[in-house]
Structure 1
Amino acid sequence: MASSSDVHVRVCAHEIIKYDLEIKAMIQDIRDCPGPESVLMELNSVVKQKFNNLRLRIQDLEQMAKEQDRETDRMSIQAETESQRRQMLSNQTAWRKANLACKLSIDNTERDELLHGSESPSARQRKVTKESLVETSSNITESLMSISRMMAQGVMQSEDTIGTLATSSRTVQETNEEFRSMTGTIHLGRKLILKYNRRELTDKLLIFLALALFFATVLYILKNRLFPFI
């Protein structure tokens, strides 16, 4: 049965994928947007909100990685987090390019209308909202800078993780060396004990033979003294 932590990780990853797909679809809508600029602004507002939601879910996934008990699970979730960050940065770049392409298309439409000596209501509305579009572009740039800072922080955390793993590896290696040293000491002690046991057995046998010879000598002397004619 899957643990509660595993379920939360899968749900978070599913939401990240959902936001990613929705953002890609919205970017395509921006790229195909014929105008006016008010429509473009509405699309950008929706995309910005989805990016905020995506950023929060990626942060949640990163926190879940830190809470994992097993090192393999933690590293796997961290790798997925870094992958989603890179994908979010790629979507940010695509979002900016789509806005530039849409703005260029709208400007070309305005220029064609001016060349033909007419100005439609939509063209007038686009002129009024130019400053708003500039502000939107500024917000996009700010979001990209925020993503860059997040990426830099993620790189620093990855470096810390690698350093921790290297320290753990050295500790394990030193422990193995101590175990090998202890094994050699135990083996030597076992040899000494066996040698001592064999020597003790030999000593007992020699003592027994000496006692037997002693008693045999005593009996022989007593026999000669008490029964000299036998």
Structure 2
Amino acid sequence: MASSSNVHVRICGQEIVKYDLEIKALIQDIRDCPGPQSALTEFNSQVKEKFYMLRLRIQDLEQMAREQDRESERLAMMAETESQRRQMLSNQTAWRKANLACKLSIDNMAKNELLDGGENPSTRQRKATKESLVETSSNITESLMSISRMMAEQVNQSEDTIGSLATSSRTVQETNEEFKSMTGTIHLGRKLILKYNRRELTDKLLIFLALALFFATVLYILKKRLFPFI
């Protein structure tokens, strides 16, 4: 059973590393994304999916840590879980920054295109430019709303993660307190055992002395009765 548990722990750890690397790669793609908005939306959709899978794997690792029989292994796995959660929060922050940078780049490109289009004297070009401006403005508004919702979701997830970290910290602290209590109980038990052993030795000595006195008394009485003149 222990071997099977270790295999599951290793597999879970490997999947966490895999999702972490995939998220980092997607964040880099977002930073380098030249547009259009649909490409950024697709990248964000993939990142959300990877974060969801990563969060599930971290929860699985935490559950397996709680099921460990050895306290040392349980504490080590809980520490690893907290480390992975902190890494996930770092990735979420990088994700938000990459989105803002990409949006700014796309907006600047759109503005430049609009300015270039305005210099064309053709009426058709001006009409196309106006339509492009309206579409770009609509896309920008939608993107900003999407980013705002995404940031709100990330804030809620961060709060949940912080709550989980606080719970794990309390669990570790309670475990340490239990160890201290067990240590005190063991020391007290040892003192009682030593005290009992000393008392047992004293009782044996008293019994031996009582028996010696008893036999001496019996011998004395027998001597007086059998040999009264001696």
TM exceeding 0.5: yes
Find the counterpart in structure 2 of residue 65 from structure 1. 65
Q: Which amino acid aligns with 2:24?
A: K
Asked if 2 retains the 8 angstrom alpha-carbon contact of 1:65 and 1:77, the reply is yes
The percentage of counterpart residues that share the same residue type is 45
- Find the aligned partners of 2:132 and 2:109 in 1 and give their Cα distance: 10
Match of 1:185 in 2: 196
> Residue 130 of structure 1 corresponds to which residue in structure 2?
140
Q: 1:228 matched to which residue of 2? A: none
| Residue among 219, 226, 230 paired with 1:208 | 219
Once the two structures are superposed, residues 46-74 of structure 1 have per-residue CA deviations (whole angstroms, 9 ceiling, x without a partner) of: 11111111111111111112222222222
Matched letter for residue 51 of structure 1: F
SS in 1 for 2:35: coil
Q: CA RMSD in A?
A: 2.6
Q: Which residue of 2 aligns with 1:26?
A: 26
Distance apart, 1:181 and its partner CA: 2.5
After TM superposition, the structure 1 stretch with the greater mean CA deviation from structure 2, 92-101 or 180-189, is 180-189
Deviation of the 1:213 alpha carbon: 4.5
Alpha carbons of 1:142 and 1:17: their partners in 2 closer, same or farther (altered >3 Å)? same
- Higher mean alpha-carbon deviation, 59-68 vs 206-215, is at 206-215
Distance in 1 (CA, whole Å) between partners of 2:40 and 2:132 is: 13
Q: Distance in 2 between matches of 1:217 and 1:116?
A: 144
Q: Does 1:54 align with 2:54?
A: yes
CA distance in 2, matches of 1:75, 1:81: 10
One-letter code aligned to 1:73: E
**1:7 and 1:125, CA in 2 relative to 1: closer, same or farther beyond 3 A?**
farther
Aligned residue pair count: 219
For 1:150 and 1:19, the matched residues in 2 are separated by 20
Assess if the C-alpha contact under 8 Å between 2:114 and 2:133 holds in 1. Answer: no
**Structure 2 SS opposite 1:3:** helix
Structure 1 stretches of at least 4 aligned residues deviating more than 6 Å after TM superposition: 120-124
What secondary structure is seen at the aligned counterpart in 1 of 2:48?
A: helix
The 5 A counterparts of 1:161-180 are: 161=171, 162-180=173-191
Superposition deviation, residue 31 in structure 1: 0.5
Aligned pair partner of 1:142 in 152, 163, 167:
152
Instruction: Name the SS for the 1:109 alignment partner.
Output: helix
1:129 counterpart letter in structure 2: N
Q: 1:57, 1:122 → 2: CA distance? A: 44
Could you state the TM-score of these two structures normalised by the residue count of structure 1?
0.83
- Alignment of 1:151 with 2:180, yes or no, is no
1:74 match: 74
Q: Find the aligned partners of 1:94 and 1:206 in 2 and give their Cα distance.
A: 96
Instruction: Give the structure, 1 or 2, with the largest relative contact order (CA under 8 Å, sep 6 or more).
Output: 1
Unaligned runs of 5+ in 2: 119-128
Residue 90 of structure 1 aligns with an amino acid whose one-letter code is: S
Residue segments in structure 1 that go unaligned for 5+ positions in a row:
221-230
Q: What corresponds to 1:225 in structure 2? A: none
CA distance in 1, matches of 2:142, 2:55: 24
Distance in structure 1 (CA, Å) of the matches to 2:49 and 2:97: 18
Going from structure 1 to structure 2, the CA distance change for 1:85 and 1:122 (only over 3 Å counts) comes to: farther
Structure 1 residue 185 displacement after superposition: 2.9
Name 2:122's counterpart in structure 1.
none
CA–CA distance in 2 between the matches of 1:121 and 1:30?
26
Deviation at 1:109, TM superposition (A): 1.6
1:217 counterpart SS class: coil
Q: Quick check: 158-167 or 93-102, which moved more?
A: 158-167
Larger Rg: 1
Q: 1:176 to 1:133 in 2, by over 3 A?
A: same
For residues 127-150 of structure 1, the C-alpha deviation after alignment (integer angstroms, 9 at most, x for no partner) is 442233123312321332232222
Question: Do structure 1's residue 217 and structure 2's residue 224 form an aligned pair?
Answer: no
